[in-house]
Chain A
Amino acid sequence: MGQCRYARCKIAFYALFLLLLQACGPSATESPPQPLSSWPPLPEPYYNRYTKARYELGERLFFEKRLSAGNAVSCASCHKPERAFADNVPVSPGAGNSAFGFRNSPGLLNIGYAPYLMAEGGVPSLEHFSVAPLQEAAEMNQNLALSIKKLQADTVYLRLFRAAYDTLPSIKYMARALAVYQRYLLSSGSPYDAYLAGDTEALSPQAQKGMTLFFSSRTGCSGCHSGFLFSDFGFHDIGLSVKENDPGRWRLTGSESDRNRFKTPSLRNVALTGPYMHDGRFGTLEEVLEHYRQGGEKTPNRSTLVRPLDLRPDEVQAIISFLHSLTDTVPYKKSYL
């Protein structure tokens, strides 16, 4: 009887928790989607604040293939919602030709919190960034002016731009709408968050063991993967051999001490965002953990935190189990459908 009451309470707790999460989920509302209450406020530029109309316009643009050469791909082609807005291939193909970039498509959830964008940190805000991939030959490969011409021929976009910014489709407001949409791609509902909220059973014993290891000085994982997003947004050389002539942050600064350093990615939803590393060289979390267990290669700026780890196989599996607990449980749904 007591057990039955306990089970009912637990179900009620979960139901309440899920309801709260649904309220935070990525669907367009009059008020902006809210991050978890334990997270800091989401920074937002005064000149491009959230409105439902802007979010919906940005969302439609994000899935719009006409923004690419030959109407071949959209932003969502390489930032797949079901993959936490990352891609499931090491490097994604561009539109209209056989060109490939040289970086793995990163997940976009919680990108509004990032103090700078790109693996070398060269872009200061979403407003600066959001149209950059549209013209890149290895990405969407279409001049912005042509993209706007296509949008201006569509009465739906005429209406949406009018509602969002009281203007005709333009590069400026396309960039802004895309920024609004991406800013409010917020993750929520992971078992880890439920655990932090008080549900001590949200994490399996194995995941709890992995969590202890993750935050321990023995592994040093949280030395870089810190904070509520599991990223210090610093730049680190983690002992990955240089491939495809990608020098990391050196590309931006030219400082030898920045060679092979890349921005720490967030680990939220990491179970969904493989392949891993800046070039997608590792297909599975097991490979990633093996890299860290061995201590990486002797690269010039390798972080002192990256060194051989004496981890048993069950401990590696425990860490992987913990990483899986960072996966959201609220599926993404297009708000305009």
Chain B
Amino acid sequence: MKKIFTPVILLTLAFFTECKKPETKDTASCDIEFTLGYSKNTLQFNHTYPYGSGMNIQFSLLKFYAGNFYFERADGTREHFTDKYLILEEGKYSGHIGELKAGSYVKAGIGYGINQNRNTQNGADAQVGTDYPQDDPLNPAADMYWGWAQGYIFMKLEGRIDADGNGSFGDPNDILFSYHPGNDELYRAFEYTLNFSPEAGKSYTIAANLDVNTLIHNCDFIAVQFAHPANTSGNQFIAAKNLVDEWGNAVTLAVK
């Protein structure tokens, strides 16, 4: 009896093993890489660019959240990467979006900032920022977090203006500017044209070209030099809104 029993078990196992479908990957690995430009030039930090009428500008910091990506097919159906956030900053303007289903896409969406489901400004029920793992973009160690008001800083844009246009940035009339948009009303999501047909098992990088000159198109750094608005009133909010509203115009996407 025992002699029969063992082969039966082995045969049964073999049957089920053969029945199991071989694993086939139906997704492609998808990264995004931002390239910073200023008009037709590559943007370099602490490099002088013309600004406004006869003035010069230098940028010292551009750091921002991009996330909640999606890819849309011609029939309007989407593949979402909800709750996926990247921090893009000098030395690392790229990151992994995720595994995207193979197919054909015509649009892509990007959120700039942290959407209100995750933003801790929404009270005690929100997940405490420090509860995220230390290397998570949402941990305050990423230095994109307001302790005093709770909530994330969606982007940091800092630099200085040579207001008299004499080439020196240290004159009394020259100014430093610091824009840190960061409340729910300043979260922005934009959709871009992107003809993208990823094949299963392959890796792709979305090239996001960010023209900082377009991004700051409606900013008046002379009038409002400091914009860290945690509320939705006053000049700081309007100035920050003028900045984040341009994400849609300032970025174009292509497949690398």
Q: Which residues of A pack against B, CB within 8 Å?
A: 118, 120, 122-125, 127-129, 131-133, 135-136, 143-145, 148, 170-172, 174-176, 250-256
Contacts and interface: CB of A to CB of B under 8 A. Distances in A.
Interface in B206-245: 229-234, 237
Given A131-B140, A132-B147, A251-B149, A175 B233 contact: no
Contacts of B143: 135, 143
Contacts of B131: 172
A65 to B, nearest CB: 19
Contacts of A125: 124, 128
Given A123-B148, A123-B149, A144-B140, A254 B134 contact: no
Given A125-B124, A128-B124, A252 B149 contact: yes
Nearest to A45: B124
Interface in B142-158: 143, 145, 147-150
Nearest to B185: A254
B42 interface: no
30 contacts: A122-B121, A122-B148, A123-B147, A123-B148, A123-B149, A124-B150, A125-B128, A127-B128, A127-B130, A128-B150, A131-B147, A135-B143, A135-B145, A135-B147, A144-B130, A144-B134, A144-B141, A172-B128, A172-B131, A172-B132, A175-B130, A250-B233, A252-B149, A252-B230, A254-B229, A254-B232, A254-B233, A255-B231, A255-B233, A256-B233
Given A128-B128, A135-B140, A122 B233 contact: no
A253 B121 CA distance: 11
B172 interface: no
Contacts of B76: none
Contacts of B145: 135
B139 A171 contact: yes
Contacts of B237: 254
Query: Shortest 8 CB-CB distances between A and B: which pairs?
Result: A132-B147, A254-B231, A254-B233, A124-B124, A175-B130, A122-B149, A144-B141, A145-B141
A25 to B, nearest CB: 29
A135 B237 CA distance: 24
A172 B134 CA distance: 8
A91 to B, nearest CB: 15
Contacts of A135: 140-141, 143, 145, 147
A253 B234 CA distance: 11
A254 B230 CA distance: 8
B120 interface: yes
A172 B128 CA distance: 9
A154 to B, nearest CB: 17
Contacts of B150: 122-124, 128
A124 B123 contact: yes
A172 B132 CA distance: 7
Contacts of B231: 250-255
B156 to A, nearest CB: 13
B199 to A, nearest CB: 38
A148 B232 CA distance: 35
B59 to A, nearest CB: 19
> Which of B132, B139, B147: most chain A Cβ within 10 A?
B147
B124 A171 contact: no
B224 to A, nearest CB: 13
A217 B190 CA distance: 57
B147 A136 contact: yes
B230 A251 contact: yes
Contacts of A170: 134
A265 B145 CA distance: 26
Given A136-B147, A251-B230, A254-B237, 4 more contacts: A129-B147, A131-B130, A171-B139, A254-B234
Nearest to B148: A118
Nearest to A176: B130
A118 B149 CA distance: 8
Nearest to A131: B130
Given A135-B147, A252-B149, A171 B233 contact: no
Contacts of A172: 128, 130-132
Nearest to A174: B130
Nearest to B123: A124
A125 B148 CA distance: 11
Nearest to B226: A245
Nearest to B232: A254
Interface string B108-133: 00000000000011011000111110
Contacts of A133: 147
Nearest to A125: B124
Interface string B85-126: 000000000000000000000000000000000001101100
Contacts of B128: 125, 127-128, 172, 175
Contacts of B123: 124
Contacts of B132: 172
Contacts of B229: 254
Contacts of A176: 130
Given A122-B230, A144-B140, A250-B231, A171 B148 contact: no
A244 to B, nearest CB: 13
Contacts of B147: 123, 129, 131-133, 135-136
Contacts of B121: 122
